A = this chain, B = another copy of it.
Amino acid sequence: MNYISIQDIDDINAWIEAAKAIKSNPLGDVELGKHKTLGLLFFNSSLRTRLSTQKAALNLGMNPIVMNVSGDAWGIEFGDGTVMNGNTAEHIKEAAAVVSQYCDIIAVRAFPTLTDKAKDESEQVLNAFAKYASVPIVNMESATGHPLQGLTDALTISEYTTKPRPKVVLSWAPHVKALPHAVGNSFVEAMQKMDVEFVIANPEGYNLNPEITKDTPIYHNQAEAFIGADFVYTKNWSSYEDYGQIKNTDPNWMITNEKLGHAKFMHCLPVRRNVVVEDAVLDSDASLVIQQANNRTYAAQLVLKKILEDLQ
């Protein structure tokens, strides 16, 4: 069993209940992962994912081994048939098979190029691990998805909703750098599986991949989208259509307390204050960002638990 995308969740409500059970008793399965090793391979920077996934592994009694692939090792080659006389020193066929000899589960973080759409959508790194590793793979944020975050967010909404079918808005917000679509994509997929009223707000030219958004309503007027919102999940992403470009930095899309109304504010973090969202929101009780970060542990722990049970 791999955990590659939100689509690997068969029944999101059952998973949410299972995550809540873990959260109420984090050490309940501390024998399950005994003498099992989780390899955490980072091709990119990480804070929450790095710490929460290790914490989840420790709660299951596993031994985490962390590796910064670029810094600790060398360039990895992904091309088929390449004559490797350039900068890459090891092919993913060997690297994935080799790491599988030492780790019972491999978790991988690998961001997109944001310049080569086809390459990013092929999920070259993650899929190569899934193909060539002989052990289960967990996605710690790939080119197009961040399913540990998406599961976390579903859990958090389930915990904090005060009504059976809350209205959830995913709102784009401005940023100074070109950012990936991974968090947005996985949040969309998670919300499509939940019993919520879900809409997206983003400027024109910023629609996410239509194969992911499907028939989810997309508003280009933020105020209109926010009417009656119970949760506003905010995230910047670069243009998908004009791939990886920054087309808009309009500060009017920044989230403010005034815009939020009674809605709860969510963000995956890290967040740039007073660019994506004003201080007043993050410093208020409307913000759930720290609670989300806490839930990262239990989402990861659920995924690892399911894989460990599947290995038995």
Contacts and interface: CB of A to CB of B under 8 A. Distances in A.
20 contacts: A42-B72, A46-B72, A47-B67, A47-B95, A48-B98, A50-B67, A51-B98, A52-B102, A54-B65, A54-B102, A68-B71, A81-B279, A84-B275, A85-B176, A86-B176, A89-B270, A91-B273, A97-B293, A98-B269, A101-B294
A94 B58 contact: no
Nearest to A289: B94
A35 to B, nearest CB: 6
A82 interface: yes
A140 to B, nearest CB: 13
Given A37-B58, A39-B51, A273-B77, A102 B297 contact: yes
Interface of A: 27, 30, 35, 37, 39, 42, 45-48, 50-52, 54-55, 58-59, 63, 65, 67-68, 71-74, 77, 81-86, 89-91, 93-95, 97-99, 101-103, 176, 269-275, 279, 282-283, 289-290, 293-294, 296-297
Contact of A282 (B37, B68, B93): B93
A239 B102 CA distance: 33
A81 B51 contact: no
A81 B290 contact: no
Contact of A51 (B67, B273, B289, B293): B67
A223 to B, nearest CB: 23
A273 B89 CA distance: 9
Contact of A272 (B63, B84, B272, B289): B84
B293 A83 contact: no
B282 A94 contact: yes
